[in-house]
Structure 1
Amino acid sequence: MQDPAVGFFFLVEFNGIDDLGANDFRFQEVSGLNSELGVEELKEGGENRFAHRLPNPAKYSNLVLKRGLVTRTALIDWFRNAIENFEFDPITVRVTLLNASTEPLLNWNFVGAYPVKWSVSNLNAEKNEVMIDTIELAYKYFTKST
């Protein structure tokens, strides 16, 4: 019997950005691993008991990546180029869930990803916390594989 997977051992990879350093792969949290189908209701003339419910294409949440704030990396240059210069270079982002032996359990491949939001946690002189860099990526679609 296989044990349930744990969500704290994972890897984030960016395919399409050159010169990535070690800090560009270290994230403390990944969210937005979901999709849903929209539903459109179609009422048929003469049929008043119900409406037909038809599926619409999938909708995807933004991929949200959080990590300790680092400065001057190839990944940050990619974000800045999109947000500050409005120049987009979509890439594929892979999130891999690992087991205790660092073997891949699941892969999510986010195709055509580009930055849409970049924020840093609040500055607060009363707390002794690591600054958190939050990056949101939009993408065309994702695939999931084992």
Structure 2
Amino acid sequence: MMPGETQNNDIWPIPAFYFKVAFHGAKNKSDTAFQEISGIGSQLDTDEVFEGGENRFSYHLPKAVKHTNVVFKRGIAELDSFLVKWCKTFFEGDFKSPLVPKDLSVHLLGEKGTVIRSWNFFQAYPVNWKVDGFHSTKNEVAIEEIELCYQYSNRVM
């Protein structure tokens, strides 16, 4: 633990199965229930620089931060869903209307439903939308996967 941090035994270890997603400006909150979220992460790109005359090592200088795309999985939603309508403007709209990115938050919840960790994603929009395969020999829920890229993110808690 870092100096000044306190460990709350009610939330340790943090569960990964209890979470919620909030699309800022979405009126239908029930439309943002997901089975799985993955891809939350950032990476610092570097430039490798070699010193003239010294061949034993190189310097790695920070260049830019890259963010991985965030992937959401859930059961296939109804056509009037906020998220489905928003994705359709990107994939089926022929770019006739302005494409509107959205801000969103992912909240990891504790046992009592309180937010214990939170990430914000700014100017997100869908870049991939697919449906998992169908199998006649399995009795499973049909799953859709929505992948979003975004301008930047931050961890709030």
Specify if TM > 0.5.
yes
- Whether 1:45 and 2:56 are equivalent positions in the alignment is no
Which residue number corresponds to residue 79 of structure 1? 87
- Distance in structure 2 (CA, Å) of the matches to 1:60 and 1:101: 31
Kept in 2: contact 1:63–1:137 (CA 8 A): yes
Which residue number corresponds to residue 21 of structure 2? 12
Identity %: 40
Which residue number corresponds to residue 61 of structure 1? 68
Question: Cα RMSD between the aligned structures?
Answer: 1.3
Any gaps of 5 or more consecutive residues in structure 2? 1-6
Which residue number corresponds to residue 131 of structure 2? 120
* Post-superposition offset of 1:21: 5.1
Choose 94-103 or 117-126, whichever is displaced more: 117-126
Which residue number corresponds to residue 149 of structure 2? 138
Which residue number corresponds to residue 90 of structure 1? 101
Equivalenced residue count is: 144
- Length-normalised TM-score, structure 2: 0.86
- Whether 1:99 and 2:107 are equivalent positions in the alignment is no
* Post-superposition offset of 1:81: 0.3
1:32-70: per-residue Cα shift (whole Å, max 9, x none)?
111111121111222222111111211111010000111
- Length-normalised TM-score, structure 1: 0.92
Structure 1 runs of 4+ aligned residues shifted over 6 Å read: none
SS of the residue 1:48 aligns to: coil
- Distance in structure 1 (CA, Å) of the matches to 2:51 and 2:99: 44
* Post-superposition offset of 1:30: 0.4
